[in-house]
Amino acid sequence: MSLDHATDLVKQQTLTRDAFLGGRLTVAQPERGFRAGLDSVLLGAAVRTRALRLLDLGAGVGTAALVALADRPELSATLVEADPAMLAIAAGNVADNGLAMRTRLVGLDLTAPGRVRAAAGLAADHFDSVIANPPFFDPGRGSAPAQSRAGARHMGEAKLDTWVKVAATHAAPDGEVIFIHTAEALPPLLIAFTQRFGAVTVLPLLPREGQPASRVVVRGIKGSRAPFRLLAGRALHESDGRAFRPEFDAIFRGTGRLVW
């Protein structure tokens, strides 16, 4: 299905327009169902500054890639998304934020065979950075808001491993692969990453000091022999109230990046 064919699907949804990076980006997204938020911003802000070619797997409406593009004028991005409606919204977001010249959108199930991905123009061993914000909910828990969006809410361990395998295939030598996920998904993520990368680094993210981690950011380097690192957890919020700690406040306002 082309982006043109997806237009009617987009019109059937109620969209919101949300500001990111202190208003530097405006992102349209469905009012209901999965919505890009802090995870997407952190993922985009985690991309290393020297990257020139970015691949966003399961890009949704494109928020993470747009965040990465916003501060890196030399960066180009390829966004892969299987849902035609989400891909159409992403195309609009790319255009509305003036980033169309540096962005390519691919409508594809990223778990498709390698020959299918290659035919879609996704070269192996090519991208300096590969990022993903995979579905967060286990198939045995909860329910998606609609059957058509179930894939954006549910993922088992085998499919998560496939996502990491695909990311490894398309990362360039010495390229980085970065996933953000729930803390409870760390065991299968570590297995998938350590089988394929070196210099695997885990950054736990805590809501507040003294609380258990709710998210983890995991990075691996293709071809590296460097050892595993578990970083100290970082709290997003101040101890009292809803204010973000300075490091994260700067990231969400678009004046800082995730240094790890």
- Average pLDDT score over residue span 193-219: 98
Residue 250: pLDDT band (50, 70, 90) is very high
Per-residue pLDDT at 253 exceeds 90: yes
How far is residue 235's CA from residue 208's CA, in Å, rounded to a whole number? 5
Q: Is residue 51 part of a domain?
A: yes
Residue whose entry in the numeric block shows the structure tokens 């998938």: 192
Q: Is residue 260 part of a domain?
A: no
Q: Please provide the DSSP assignment of the chain as one string.
A: --TTTTHHHHHTS-EEEEEEGGGTEEEEEESSSS---HHHHHHHHTS-TT--EEEEET-TTSHHHHHHHHT-TT-EEEEEES-HHHHHHHHHHHHHTT-GGGEEEEE--TTS-HHHHHHTT--TT-EEEEEE----B-TTS---SSGGGGGGTB--HHHHHHHHHHHHHHEEEEEEEEEEEEGGGHHHHHHHHHTT-EEEEEEEEESSTTSPP-EEEEEEETT--PPPEEPPPEESB-SSSSPBPHHHHHHHHTS-----
What CATH number is given to the structural domain containing 81? 3.40.50.150
Per-residue pLDDT at 151 exceeds 90: no
How many domains does the chain divide into?
A: 1
Range of the domain at 199: 7-253
Q: pLDDT tens, 159-197?
A: 999 999 999 999 999 999 999 999 999 999 999 999 999
Cβ burial of 176 (10 Å; 0-12, 13-18, 19+) is: buried
Residues 6 or more apart whose CB falls under 8 angstroms from that of 236 comprise: 38, 205, 206, 207, 208, 244, 245, 248
Q: Is residue 93 part of a domain?
A: yes
Residue whose entry in the numeric block shows the structure tokens 């399961």: 58
Kindly state the tokens that stand for 256: 């800082």
Average pLDDT, the chain: 90
Q: Is residue 143 part of a domain?
A: yes
Q: Is residue 177 part of a domain?
A: yes
Per-residue pLDDT at 73 exceeds 60: yes
How far is residue 158's CA from residue 146's CA, in Å, rounded to a whole number? 23
pLDDT for position 245: 98
Residue 159: closest CA among 184, 188, 180, 182: 188
What pTM value is reported for the model? 0.90
Q: Is residue 1 part of a domain?
A: no
- Average pLDDT score over residue span 53-72: 97
How far is residue 226's CA from residue 201's CA, in Å, rounded to a whole number? 10
Q: Is residue 258 part of a domain?
A: no
